[in-house]
Amino acid sequence: MEVKTILEENMISIVSNKSVIKGCWKIADLGCSSGPNTLMSISNILNIINQTSLKLNNGISHVFQIYLNDLFENDFNTIFKLLPDFYQLTKVMNVGECFISATPGNFYGRLFPSNYINFFHSSYSLHWLSQVSFKNICNWSFACTHNLSIRKMYKQFNYIKVNSFMTFRPRKI
């Protein structure tokens, strides 16, 4: 539940600043996966935005463009089959119009134009990114503890991955 609290705090801060987002909210879910949890995360975000808007009494009818991102191998069709029920839920929640599309690709590079996305959500992609740490790799391979060149290579590889990921995200917000 700690993650949901952090999500709520950040979304409330963004929604409270009325000048931040005018018109269509553009939300990207990086590493969205292919199951129902993907749409549960999006539903939580939409609900937080809607509830905060109601509390602030700003009377704005929201429009959302949701970009689901994962690797090319992801089965986006599984998610698309869940969309009719999701759209019914958004009507019941009265959150506004919602458009969902897939944006397949590797998030180490550019996925969106600069200054385009209003909010990035990433529950699991950073988890997998962090899995390639030197410590974990050494647990997988006994050779790491004895071979300095292998240790150096994995450390450099991990630095490049994390640095690349962190460099491209601010450009898109």
Average per-residue pLDDT for the chain:
75
Report, at the CATH architecture level, how domain 2-129 is classified.
Answer: 3-Layer(aba) Sandwich (3.40)
* CA distance linking residue 103 with residue 113, whole number of Å: 13
Query: What's the confidence (pLDDT) of residue 134?
Result: 44
* CA distance linking residue 69 with residue 30, whole number of Å: 5
Query: What's the confidence (pLDDT) of residue 65?
Result: 96
Name the phi and psi angles at 26, rounded to 5. -110, 115
Estimate the crossing angle of helix 76-93 against helix 36-56, to 10 degrees: 30
Q: What is the mean pLDDT of residues 120-138?
A: 55
Task: Give the residue among 125, 35, 21 at the shortest CA–CA distance from 11.
Answer: 21
Helices (H), the chain: 2-16, 36-56, 76-93, 125-130, 134-140, 143-146, 148-172
User: Does residue 123 have a pLDDT over 50?
Assistant: yes
The burial class, CB within 10 Å (0-12 / 13-18 / 19+), for 131 is: exposed
Cα-based distances in Å from 104 to 31, 68, 69, 112, 167: 9, 8, 5, 11, 19
User: Does residue 20 have a pLDDT over 90?
Assistant: no
Q: What is the pTM of this model?
A: 0.70
Structural domain boundaries of the chain?
2-129, 131-173
CA angle at 63 for the pair 61 and 65, rounded to the nearest 5°: 165
User: Does residue 66 have a pLDDT over 90?
Assistant: yes
Query: What's the confidence (pLDDT) of residue 140?
Result: 41
